[in-house]
Chains A and B, each alone.
Chain A
């Protein structure tokens, strides 16, 4: 694929991302999780750094207000100073091994946070470098270099091999998925089309789309829709109940994406604690990391499912 102009002009825009096959949530091959679990349950906090004065990229501004947007900078900085530590205490109490959506610059700015995450054995996956630097408009060479840079940074700080990718501020190019697969990334969280893992169509290699969620995301629940913390807790429980029920037939995935700068507040942390505790107390739940869920799916289901879907679609 040649490098695209930016913004991508209408004649080069596709009506379908062409990243996956149609696959109705009916009569699919059964997914079985380890120990017969119904739901693969994972918690994915976004640990982020928003720059006070980011460089202006080709797309939108990174801030809500003209710079310096000290109000929103302060709200996000709260996450690293206060919210992260309160959230970490809660996850410890509940015995949850988190999978961290990480702006890797956090490792440089706040090595204390890096140590707190690696000491706990949390998985670190990519959320880019800063949440104020977007993937939009990168050339192929730049985007590939960006992916490698993030992987190297995580490996250098933690010894971990990068497995997962949630693009910073959910910004993509049309070739992001191809590059992720070629660079050995195993799962993407940028697609919201399913409640089960799905194969992603990539030009070479393998990539699985793992269910993240904008529905059980604290940002959506508390900010976009303006719900209360207790309503958010009810949302998590209702989402869990349904996926747990459906998981009796075929394994489902439930993700609770968090932001320490949203959920770490004194008025929000306890409703979250109650909701997570509710999920943790059920039998038949696989408490996993993103890497583990994607790995299980790739090892047991991905290839067969991709062949089946290709066949149904009449693809060679």
Chain B
């Protein structure tokens, strides 16, 4: 047997990327980021509020946190729902106690079901971010373009209606996309997406609907990656966040503003034995000079202002 000759043909092998969304940009060759007050590190906290329906279908892949057991999977359903009842209350309390703010990413269905948390987010002057429809609707290539476009519009409009905010940020459920998703983010009127976890600083992307910015939410420091994915203890998560912060704080001294982004899943980080690690991490960070805790939209504005 042989491989098909096309397997040895490389039509996109040329300078730059193999897709349309951005050009190559090496770390260190971006514009110098200037944060308010000359801060070294922008701290971006992103609690993620998800709705995992009990009757979730088997999607294109096993969604982290999904219903992995036979219906009715009360085990997984209630563990996720715990986050939206108890865990998120603890996360908000830890942030409130330190005067910190957040961008809270909502599945539209979670916001509809628990408008309490949208109200709490708005009342604090924090940012509401869009996180798709629900965890049963991870974006996928098979979706009809118009279906995806309308689902994204509905997701963002639902949050706009509930929050009264413009809703500038998008994060796809389970970081899953179709080839159209990033084009459609711009079409919903969102200004940034957190889906492309390839950089540590904001950068501008091209889409069919105009520019949209990539914001560096990242994945490798996520509680869901380290604690549920790698079965690490909260102490290990905390150690790595602190190491990351210390490194970025140092690097920013010479190279300009940096971003430390922390995705926070309340069903993971909000349990009693872990929440103290979040508090300790934030104390470590806020004890240092030169930290600016901000929303995604604020960080984006500052990044764009750095490079007018």
**A binding-site residues for B, Cβ under 8 Å:** 3-6, 51-53, 55, 57-58, 64-68, 70-71, 73-75, 77-78, 80-82, 84-86, 105, 108-112, 129-130, 133, 136-139, 141-142, 145-146, 223, 226-230, 265-271
Contacts A70-B196, A81-B27, A265-B220 known; A109 to B13 CB distance under 8 Å?
yes
Closest CB-CB distance, A292 to chain B, in whole Å? Answer: 29
Complexed CA–CA distance, A82 and B197 (Å): 11
Do B243 and A229 touch across chains, with their CB atoms under 8 A apart?
yes
Can you show 13 pairs from A to B with CB atoms below 8 A apart?
A55-B7, A66-B141, A68-B179, A70-B196, A74-B219, A80-B26, A85-B27, A130-B10, A137-B2, A138-B2, A266-B243, A267-B240, A267-B244
List B contacts of A266 (CB < 8 A): 200, 243-245, 247-248, 251, 260
**Which residues of B239-254 have CB atoms within 8 Å of chain A's CB atoms?**
239-241, 243-245, 247-248, 251
B158 beta carbon closer than 8 Å to chain A: no
Give the residues in chain B near A111, CB-CB below 8 Å. 15
Question: A68 with B178: in contact, given A78-B198, A81-B198, A82-B199 (CB under 8 Å)?
Answer: yes
- Determine the residue in chain B with the shortest Cβ distance to A146: B8
A19 to chain B, nearest CB (A): 22
The stretch of B73-81, B145-153, B230-238, B293-301 that contacts the partner chain: B230-238
Q: For chain B, which range describes its interface: under 10, 10 to 19, 20 to 34, or 35 or more residues?
A: 35 or more
In the complex, residue of chain A having the shortest beta-carbon distance to the beta carbon of B142? A66
Minimum Cβ distance to chain A for residue B114 (Å): 26
Known contacts A70-B177, A86-B27, A137-B3, A109 near B15 by CB under 8 Å? yes
In the complex, which of the residues A53, A133, A265 contacts B7, with contact meaning CB atoms closer than 8 Å?
A133
B219 and A269: CB pair below 8 A?
Answer: no
In the assembled complex, the Cα of A289 lies from the Cα of B177 at a distance in Å of 41
**A265 to B244, Cβ gap below 8 A?**
yes
Give the A-B pair count, Cβ closer than 8 A: 149
B13–A67 touching, CB < 8 Å? no
Q: Which secondary structure dominates where chain B touches chain A?
A: loop
A231 to chain B, nearest CB (A): 8
- By beta carbon, the residue of chain A nearest B180 is A68
- B interface residue numbers (CB < 8 A to A): 1-4, 6-8, 10, 12-19, 24-28, 60-61, 140-141, 175-179, 181, 195-200, 219-221, 229-232, 236, 239-241, 243-245, 247-248, 251, 260
CB–CB B229/A226 < 8 A: yes
**Closest Cβ of chain A: how far from B65's Cβ, in Å?**
15
Q: Which residue of B lies closest to A133 (CB)?
A: B7
Within the assembled complex, what's the spacing in Å between the Cα atoms of A110 and B23? 10
Distance (whole angstroms) from the CB of B186 to the closest CB of chain A: 16
Known interface pairs A65-B176, A71-B197; A228-B239 also in contact (CB < 8 Å): yes
A269 touches B239 (CB 8 A): no
- Tell me if A5 and B199 are in contact (CB < 8 A): no
Are B244 and A75 within 8 A (Cβ)?
Answer: no
